[in-house]
Structure 1
Amino acid sequence: MDETNVRVNSLKAWILAARPKTLTGAAVPVMIGVASAVALYGWSGIRVVPAVLCMLFALIMQVDANFVNDYFDFMKGTDDESRLGPKRACSQGWITAVAMRRGLLYTTILACVVGLPLVFYGGWEMIMVGLACVVFCFLYTISFSYLGLGDVLVLVFFGLVPVCMTYWLAAPPTQLASIPTSVVVLSIACGLVIDTLLVVNNFRDIDNDRRAGKRTLIVRIGERGGLILYMLLGLLGAVMAIGGVVYLNWHEGQWTQYLVIFYIPFHTLAFTTMRSIRKGAELNRVLGMTARNMLIFGLLVSAALIFA
């Protein structure tokens, strides 16, 4: 979307603040969770309503996280004129701080309203899961990202929680006693691949983060370590995903269960581009490639699970 001539607090401003391109990271874990349930029980065996609610909750929470990040980084002065990443709504004056506070409040409430019916499918424990999602949505920007723990939260809340919970809620009621080990493996693989997006973000912002006292994992391990980490996360995620698919739904001679291998060339290309650029706003190109690769990964894993 064109970022010029944005009126204050307009619909265009809110769409930009929602960062639609980041919604891939919210959708992919739910896709994999649903595909895992389909692989075991077939389309006729899964519960559609909780699966849809999981997707809506994840998407709204991603927008909420973006609003929280936009507002609190603006208040802390992290998003200043030296920022290399995509422009932020509050710092650009597209949305006022007062309006953004209301916006993040409304999206938080909306996410809770959408997620509450999941209690009927998964029990009262779903309230604790939803509360954890909301609390850590705020803690990520306010505290954890400054302590180098953002990657841990990505692994948990973009891997373990959404994949496992979506599978658990979409599976037939008689199967709610446990979550297969293979689904846990797939959830970790998903979290690792999605973390590559955070690694690119922090790699690009390493100098600004150092000045702001933001001790991200990339600040701690340096640029060379960041490059190695980016490559390893994608490769390990792909290998674990293949293992999870095969273990969950093994069919001898069925090549489709190895579809995830086609993610590796895309990831390698993004790594090569990242290594050649190393510095500056041009790394936003790698950010776009990584977001695309996450979607490719999600589609390949889902296809491998469903069609194996």
Structure 2
Amino acid sequence: MGALAQSGDMTETADVSRREAWLIAARPHTLPAAAAPVAVGTGLAVHAEVLAVLPALAAFVGAALIQVGTNFANDYYDAVQGADTEDREGFTRVTAGGLIEPERVKQATYATFALAVLVGVYLVYVGGLPILVIGLLSVASGFAYTGGPYPLGYHGLGDLFVFLFFGVIAVTGTFYVQAAAVLADPLATAIPTGTLPLAAVVASLPVAAISTNIIVVNNVRDKDEDETTGKRTLAVRFGYRFSRLEYAGLLGLAYVTPVWFYLEGYSPAVFLPLLTLPLAASVTQTIFERTDGDALNPALTRTGQLLAAYSGLFAVGLAL
């Protein structure tokens, strides 16, 4: 998720206004990572005739707030734990760069997660106990990615975390709250029948895979610095070759998933994401050939664009 917070243009630390600094910290260009699972979950809800606009909108707002809160948390904790050094090849961090006081960034983290919890109150009313559990785990994990006694991103668990929370849980949760709003009574204590079909889990896999690939690009770029600062990502543990194969393998998972839906009787429109294959191939070539920030910072942006384009087309294909 730290890498999910890093696609965009490199920003110089000089001559940055206070407002610009907060925009850098919030990283609004990362919001497609929050929108992608909501789009796919909603496309599937349209197909299943359980579309519920207000729960879908609330799911996006909640996901966006968790994304921004996690961006703040990553900026703060990476700085105070010494993970952001002068050798950093990634995008500007406001805490390490001295643009905003660490305490202010920490306060913004808590405030943003508090707003996410507030939105979550409505979603809990719609979806009941399952959404309460998911929401609390999502907020706690936003902190735990780079903070707490055992930061997930520092111990090679970041990829798995993003796959689950920004993919599987985000897509299935979006479908669930809409289906629950249509099919079940409020404040359910268990998962109501018809609200969590296998199709929702399968539909989450491409979003999970491409979201995780943003982390993979980030870890390849930062491998040398992470080794120095003790951040044991999968790239540090297993090397460049492993990470490159991971990137390609996750893309393979994303592009084979529509076949399952077609075989299940969905429209051939589920193959619309294949239109993004040229972009996927181009970024993969960069990942396999380069390790420097000059190449991989744009590759982060392009992987984010791939996530947005694939998810949008897949959502349309599912809806049709």
Distance 1:231 1:48 in 2: 35
Q: Which ranges in structure 1 are unaligned for 5 or more consecutive residues?
A: none
| Contact persistence 1:150–1:216 (CA under 8 A) | yes
Alpha carbon RMSD of aligned pairs, Å?
Answer: 1.6
**Higher helix share goes to which structure?**
1
The runs of at least 4 consecutive aligned structure 1 residues that moved more than 6 Å come to none
Match of 2:5 in 1: none
Q: What is the identity, as a one-letter code, of the residue corresponding to 2:92?
A: K
Compute the displacement of 1:6 (Å): 1.2
Compute the displacement of 1:125 (Å): 2.9
Match of 1:6 in 2: 16
Distance 1:281 1:75 in 2: 26
Deviations 1:86-113 (A, max 9, x none): 0101111111111111111110111111
Compute the displacement of 1:183 (Å): 1.3
| Contact persistence 1:26–1:158 (CA under 8 A) | yes
1:243 correspondence with 2:259 = yes
Structure 1 residues 1-308: aligned runs within 5 Å: 3=12, 4-7=14-17, 10-41=18-49, 45-142=50-147, 143-171=151-179, 173-174=182-183, 176-178=192-194, 179-240=196-257, 242-246=258-262, 250-251=266-267, 255-307=268-320
Distance 1:203 1:188 in 2: 22
Q: What is the identity, as a one-letter code, of the residue corresponding to 1:174?
A: L
- Range with bigger deviation, 183-192 or 276-285: 276-285
Compute the displacement of 1:288 (Å): 1.1
- Range with bigger deviation, 165-174 or 139-148: 165-174
Distance 1:173 1:215 in 2: 45
- 3-state DSSP of counterpart to 2:24: helix
Distance 2:26 2:260 in 1: 33
Q: What is the identity, as a one-letter code, of the residue corresponding to 1:46?
A: L
Q: What is the identity, as a one-letter code, of the residue corresponding to 1:265?
A: P
Distance 1:243 1:185 in 2: 11
| Contact persistence 1:238–1:263 (CA under 8 A) | no
User: Percent same amino acid at aligned positions?
Assistant: 33
Distance 2:264 2:59 in 1: 22
Q: How many residues align?
A: 298
| Contact persistence 1:182–1:244 (CA under 8 A) | no
Distance 2:93 2:244 in 1: 26
Deviations 1:212-253 (A, max 9, x none): 11111111221112112111111211212x0353256524xx
Q: TM-score, normalised by structure 1?
A: 0.92
